[in-house]
Amino acid sequence: MKTSTIPVSAPAWYVIDAEGQSLGKIAVKAATYLKGKHKPTYAPHQLCGDQIIVINAAKIDLPPKKIFRKTYFRHTGFPGGKKIVGLQEMLEKKPEYVIEHAVKGMLPDNRLAREMMKRLHVFAAADHDHTAQQPSPLAL
């Protein structure tokens, strides 16, 4: 079977305001636009998605029980080097990581997903560095 290669156009820029929004809804919308599934020229083997800016990552809306139940796990590589951080502590230290981790989990596990993650820009506050690109707002 032969796969077709469609010429990829320049990526558009979109901004998502995460204030008061659910973490899952933000992640689904961002992952869909990063993959390019909203375009008629979508191809799973090509990088055809857009650039996504997420602002106000520190102000996402979460259920009260989830704040205490959800944890983030990593390992240092040394014996006994297990590090577990709760969602509440992660929102205080690195609120950008919470959204990046959720979006990364919704992308495929391949080289293309690593390129898609480079097109995701998350900011804890309302100001961002990409005003020159004139991003259009993306409604959830």
Virtual torsion, Cα 54, 57, 59, 64, nearest 10 deg: 120
Using pLDDT thresholds of 50, 70 and 90, give the confidence band for residue 4: confident
Distance CA 59, CA 125 (A): 8
Q: What is the pLDDT of residue 8?
A: 80
- Provide mean pLDDT across the span 8-23: 94
pLDDT tens column, 109-127: 999 999 999 999 999 999 9
- Is the pTM higher than 0.75? The answer reads yes
pLDDT tens column, 69-99: 999 999 999 999 999 999 999 999 999 999 9
Q: Is 15 left (phi over 0), alpha (psi -120 to 50) or beta?
A: beta
CATH class given for the domain over 13-62+95-137: alpha beta
Tell me the percentage of the chain whose pLDDT exceeds 70.
99
